Amino acid sequence: MPKNKMSKTRFIQVLIPLLLSAACVLAGLTTLPGCQNKPAASSPAPRANPDDPVLAVVNGREITRSQLLSSMGNNPESEFSEQEKQDALEQLVEHELILQKGIELGLDSDQGYDRIIRKMENRLLEVKRKQMYQLFYKKEFLEKAQISDESLKEYFEQNQEHIQSDYYLQGLSFDEENKARKALERLAGGESFEKLALELYPNHRTAKHGKPWDMGKISLLQLPDKWRQEVMKLNIGQNTGLIYFGKSGYRILRLADKKPNPALTFEAVRKQLFIDRRSQLLEEQFREYKKELRNKATISMQNTP
């Protein structure tokens, strides 16, 4: 291309500011986007993140490298040529200009546009809430948690009879609460656990591991905390009430047998006991902290979900 000819892209970059300035002067307006006195696009205000440099400034609105890569599908930057990145940036500039002009004309009040934007904003807000919840728990509780050997030994001694035992459990699983409650009523009425299990698992004879409801031998610390508290209350032959297990539904457990296991000493279970007690204490502390936050906050429930 001859040197005295200006590229189409460069021509647009020069023409747009001139047109905006002329429009502002003719209209006598200084409040429209583009009519305010702004610092030069080549020297935007310093950013806090040097890893995400500003690539363009459109009427005071910054376009960063991360925004550019996002518009290109978040693929690695190395997959694109310099020309492809430049073309994508020019398109982003055009989109930003149209966004600003559309807002100026009040087009952002369009119901379809507003519905989509609100939906995306709600998704972003939910991501922020979940990410901050996890980060807060990690930084303020998980990384600060401390449990001494003395407290572990004390807990072991208080629950030694339970910890140093092997439990032989049976379990019934239900995907619906009403089915689980009916089974619980039948057990309370005197029907055997085995009879209900046979009805629930009619094809048990073809199962690879015998009776599907027979959970085999298990130690107390291997049980989920929701099960553990209930199982510790049982005598041999007794069953729990309904235990809600999230997406897995509902369970009814039966203690078929319980035998002492002196091999489960403090040293043998120390590591698992530490993990278990740490998890329990963190859950209790975090639950109390959230309760305290709620008590201090001003919360007004406006409508039912």
Q: What are the per-10-residue average pLDDT scores of the chain (305 residues)? A: 40 40 39 42 51 94 93 87 94 96 96 96 97 96 89 92 94 92 94 90 64 89 86 93 87 94 94 89 93 94 83
The DSSP secondary structure of 36-80, one letter per residue, reads: S----TTSPPPPS-TTS-EEEEETTEEEEHHHHHHHTTS--GGGS
Q: Where in the chain is the domain with CATH 3.10.50.40?
A: 165-261
Q: Of all helices (H) and strands (E), which one includes residue 127? A: helix 111-140
Which pLDDT score, from 0 to 100, does residue 74 have?
A: 78
Which pLDDT score, from 0 to 100, does residue 90 have?
A: 96
Which pLDDT score, from 0 to 100, does residue 305 have?
A: 78
Alpha helix (H) ranges present in 141-200?
Answer: 149-158, 160-163, 177-188, 193-200
Pairing mode, strands 54-58 and 250-260 = unpaired
Residue 239 is given by DSSP the state B
The set of residues, in sequence order, having a beta carbon less than 8 Å from that of 104 and lying 6+ positions away, is 32, 33
Gyration radius of the chain's alpha carbons: 33
φ/ψ of residue 272, rounded to 5: -65, -35
Which pLDDT score, from 0 to 100, does residue 47 have?
A: 53
Of the candidates 185, 198, 305, 179, the one whose C-alpha atom is nearest the C-alpha of residue 251 is 179
Which pLDDT score, from 0 to 100, does residue 106 have?
A: 95
Which pLDDT score, from 0 to 100, does residue 154 have?
A: 93
The set of residues, in sequence order, having a beta carbon less than 8 Å from that of 248 and lying 6+ positions away, is 173
Q: Maximum CA pair distance of the chain?
A: 99
Which pLDDT score, from 0 to 100, does residue 48 have?
A: 54
Q: Architecture of domain 165-261 in CATH?
A: Roll (3.10)
pTM over 0.75: no
